[in-house]
Amino acid sequence: NAGVTQTPKFQVLKTGQSMTLQCAQDMNHEYMSWYRQDPGMGLRLIHYSVGAGITDQGEVPNGYNVSRSTTEDFPLRLLSAAPSQTSVYFCASSPIPSGSRETQYFGPGTRLLVL
């Protein structure tokens, strides 16, 4: 299994541009999530999904959209990039949607720089 994969690894955007960060998992996990990591702030949840067709907002959803058309894929869309969205983005998945005693499996991250 490849686990959780993310593309691209690194991206530079200009303010106002849009882009999609890709995330895929091959473990048939129902739960998937997106985090951003900023220095001194740990990881903050952007959006999450408990299954295909079901998404919800996390702690910092503004400026981001998600969709979940398949179990495997959970793309994150930046609608109009802003310098405040410069960050490292991590996608994660776990095997069950409820309660989550389950461990999350993280992708390698996407480093985004918005100029």
Contacts with other proteins by CB under 8 A lie at 4, 31, 33, 35, 40-45, 48, 50, 56, 58-59, 90, 92, 97-101, 103-109
Please calculate the CA angle 6-25-7 and round it to the nearest 5 degrees: 15
As a whole number of angstroms, the distance between CA 51 and CA 14 comes to 33
For residues 14 and 98, which CB has a smaller minimum distance to other proteins in the complex? 98
Q: Are 93 and 105 in contact (CB under 8 A)?
A: yes
For residues 14 and 39, which CB has a smaller minimum distance to other proteins in the complex? 39
What length does the chain have? 115
Residue 21 CB, shortest distance to other proteins, in Å, is 14
Residue 97 CB, shortest distance to other proteins, in Å, is 7
